[in-house]
Each structure stands twice: as C-alpha cells, then as structure tokens.
Amino acid sequence: MTAKNRTQHPSCALSHCMALIGGAWTPNILWYLSHGPRRFSELRSDIPLVSAKVLTQRLRELESHGVLSRAVLGTSPPAVEYALTDLGTRFIPVINAIAEVGQDLRDNPSD
C-alpha cells in the first residue's frame, strides 16, 4: 500500500476527528456548548479543573477548525462568548453517546 492510499483510507478521517475531540477538555467544552453559547468565565466555572491557558488553547483550536465561533460582546468590560457552529453541532450525538457509555461504565463496573 502506498502512502497515498493510506491517506485515503477511511480510518484517516476517523483519526483526524479523534485527534481533535481527543484533546484534553475538548469533549467537556463541546458538552457545555451543546446547551447554548457560553462566556469564557462560564466555561471556566463549568470545568473548574481546566486552567485558563489550556481552555484558551482548546477554544482557539476548535475555532480554527470551524467547530465553534467566538463573538466579542459589547459589554463593559468586554466579554467573549463561544457557540457551536453547524459543524460543531454535528459532534453532539457523538458526545452524548460517549456520555451514555461513560454512565454505563460508571454504574456497572466490571469485577
């Protein structure tokens, strides 16, 4: 198999997607934004263990991939609000499925 054939294999698309949502705190960010737009400070409250630096990095990464949008609000002091884009909303069924499996794993630990 040539390198060209490997990049066209369907698993490459899966790997690309998993590299994005597999980042630290990314599923949590998507989860909280699935309920509507959130300000940076609200996301910090939603995910208290994430540092401001890492949260900023993840938000920028998701924005650069078109998963979320960033809007500067005309408030005093200025605030920033994040929301899922159409592409971002496509992750919601995936995040919900992962949460359901996680709940099952938590409720039924193997012996």
| Residue 86's CATH number | 1.10.10.10
- Asked if the model's pLDDT at residue 8 lies above 70, the reply is no
Position 101 scores a pLDDT of: 93
The 10s digit of each residue's pLDDT in 40-92 is: 999 999 999 999 999 999 999 999 999 999 999 988 888 999 999 999 999 99
Q: Residue 12 falls within a domain, yes or no?
A: no
C-beta separation of 37 from 81 below 8 A: yes
Mean pLDDT of 17-33: 91
- Asked if the model's pLDDT at residue 37 lies above 50, the reply is yes
Count of domains for the chain: 1
Q: Residue 81 falls within a domain, yes or no?
A: yes
Look over the chain and give the mean of its residue pLDDT values, rounded to a whole number: 89
Please report, rounded to a whole number, the percentage of residues in the chain having pLDDT higher than 90.
Answer: 65
pLDDT, greater one: 11 or 54: 54
Q: Residue 11 falls within a domain, yes or no?
A: no
Strand residues in 9-48 grouped as ranges (E): 38-39
State the residue range of the domain holding 30.
Answer: 24-107
Q: Residue 2 falls within a domain, yes or no?
A: no
Q: Residue 46 falls within a domain, yes or no?
A: yes
Q: What is the DSSP letter of 110?
A: -
- Asked if the model's pLDDT at residue 1 lies above 70, the reply is no
Dist CA 51 CA 61 (whole Å): 15
Position 16 scores a pLDDT of: 82
H or E segment at 105? helix 92-107
The closest alpha carbon to 34, from 107, 94, 100, 104, belongs to: 94
